[in-house]
A and B are shown apart, each in its own frame.
Chain A
Amino acid sequence: MPIRDVTADGGTLKIEPLRNFPIVGDLVVNMGSLYAHMEQVGHRAVLPLSEEPSEPGVKPVAKAVEDDYIRLSDCIECGLCISACPISTTTATYLGPAVLAGAQQHGLDGDPNLLALVDCADGMWRCHQVFECTAVCPSNVEPGLKIMQLRQAAMRQRIRRLFGSRK
């Protein structure tokens, strides 16, 4: 919501610290758990353009040379998605949208430890499809969509295991 939308008619802005993080003091919160989890799921801050295309509107690069280009990941680890998530309010053990989107970026294939981390009650299955994470994300991450994609990847793996695949 643009600030002017509130202040144009004499409204009051209420500035609060990020929700769902321990408050250190004033507007400062402790985001250590977010950074630790992002490292745990293997979120990469820099990656090839072919793996994370730029936002729409950015001049496209020819597919043949996409891998020659690297860019900073969309996720800037600001924590706004976790602050907006009502599930993160109800339980401190929920991994949260940023971490789950980071896990989706890393990919589940061939990483049983990562699968075990996110495929649990406090992982991707805790999400209740509120999609406020996507609404407040200032970057192009779409964490809600990434959590749904993570679920689909996990379900595909479970089905494969059910039919005896070794992958």
Chain B
Amino acid sequence: MVRSSRARPGNWAFILNRITALGLALYLAMHLVALGQLALGPGAYDTFVQIVKHPAFIAFELLVVAAGIYHALNGIRIGLVTFFGGTATVQKQIFYAMLAIAVIGSLFFGIRMFMV
């Protein structure tokens, strides 16, 4: 068994922050394009709404919600350790707590989104 020296919590926090940032930026662009459908009239928008009601699309939106929750919470961790130096000594614990909140939040929204 080979354990990578890269598979460590700090590196994962950094990589996930980057991936969620890219994902959220991409989602924002898609969201603006989708809203542009309004300009094409009610028929075009209704077609679009039918697409987003598909379970596959809801699953994709759940990923966006999870990315948003994680990115926001990690951002709070980064703000805390930058401006309140004492928290840097417990930053790993803060990261794990934020990760747990992100997982619980994602599960909560996932259940809500698929039950409606």
Residues of A within 8 A of B (CB): 1, 6, 9-12, 14, 84, 86, 128-132, 135, 142, 144-145, 148-149, 151-152
Contact = CB atoms under 8 A, between A and B. Distances in A.
Given A144-B91, A152-B83, A131 B10 contact: yes
Interface residues of B, number: 21
Contacts of B89: 142, 145
B2 A148 contact: no
12 contacts: A84-B5, A86-B15, A128-B17, A129-B13, A129-B77, A129-B81, A130-B14, A132-B10, A135-B8, A144-B81, A148-B81, A152-B83
Contacts, number: 55
Contacts of B85: 145, 148-149, 152
B32 to A, nearest CB: 28
Interface of B: 1-3, 5, 8, 10-11, 13-15, 17, 77-78, 81-83, 85, 88-89, 91-92
Contacts of A128: 14, 17, 78
